[in-house]
Each structure stands twice: as C-alpha cells, then as structure tokens.
Structure 1
Amino acid sequence: MRFCTRLAAIRRLQNERSVLRETGASEAEQSAAKTAALETRTAVGEALTELQLLTDDQHVLELAARVVDVTFYLHEAPDRAERDRRGTLARTAHNTFVAAAGPLVRA
C-alpha cells in the first residue's frame, strides 16, 4: 500500500534529519534533509487522499489521519527522549492502522 510506504519513508527521513542535527552536520546537509522530508510529506498527503478514494471505512480513515498527525510532528520534539517517545506513539499508531486496513490490502 502506497500510504504505508510513504509513511515509512518520511519516518526514515525524519530520523536522518535528527541524526544530522545532533551530530552538527553542515547547514547544507541539514537543508537537503529538510527538503527531502518536506517532499515526502507531500507524497504522504497524496497517498492519504488516494486512500480516501479507496475506502469509505471511517475507522480506517480516522486511524490513517492519526498516524499521519503523529508522524508529521515527530521531528518537532525538543530532545531525543521526546522524539523516542513520539516514535513509539507513531509505531503504535502505524501498527493499529495496518491491522485495521489489512482487509483493504487483501481485497
């Protein structure tokens, strides 16, 4: 499912961006990472729109919106401990969505 693939990509890019920030990478490297994350964020929005066209299951759509919200705000955590906590929330939201959306994928 494109939606899950896009979410995984944005989480990976956010993690890379956090590592760059924590290791004191150059502004150019951090800027490139930010641009890549923003482009992928757009792709997540497009994939969510596609999902809305595929199903009218409100529970699945609410879970999808929740996982998007949690994922988008991961990088705004002020410190590593908070990013880790938000990462756990994002994984839980993602797993809950995947379990609920399983019948859509198999259909």
Structure 2
Amino acid sequence: MAETAHGASDNGTPNTGTTADAASERSSQAWKARLLLGHKSMITTTLNLANPRTILPYLCTALGGATFVAGILTPIFQISSLVGSSLFARSLPGKAKTTSFCFSAA
C-alpha cells in the first residue's frame, strides 16, 4: 500500500508507525523494567545487609552522639528514602500511568 502525502494509506486508515517504532518502544519499556528491577534489588540487598533502623542509632550512640540525634535518625532515613524514590521516578523517561485506588477498613 502506498502512503499519501497526508500520512494515510490508500484505504484511508491512518499510518500509525512502522515496526521499527514498535521495536523501539518495546526496547524502551524493557530498559525501564530492567532499571526499576535493578534499583529495587539494590535497595532490598542494602536493607537486608544492614537495616538502617537499627544500625544508624547504634552507631550514633556508640560514637558518642546525642540520644536525640540517635532517635531522629530513623525518621530522617524514612523521609529521605521516600524523597529519593520520588526523584528517581521522575527521572524515568515518559509519562507514568496513574491508577486510582480505594482503600477501605474491614
């Protein structure tokens, strides 16, 4: 089928792209999936080897830090991991799909 100057084929259906575009999209999606899998596996490994909720306060008090600082380290870690995840998600190319969730208490 020959393509007209307006981007439609002879039978009037729009030309949506080539197989190269589809292969490029699949490659991009595969890259994103590998990137997210690698990120999650590195975080999981780190948290399993040294849980910051116990290690950081212990190190702080062992090195002579104040008790208040040792107590505030865990919330700081939680906030920084949430901020880091949100910044990492923004660096992924493309627009993320949004899904609405409804939670209910039973």
- The structure number with the bigger radius of gyration is 2
User: TM-score under structure 2 normalisation?
Assistant: 0.39
Larger RCO (CA under 8 A, 6+ residues apart): 1
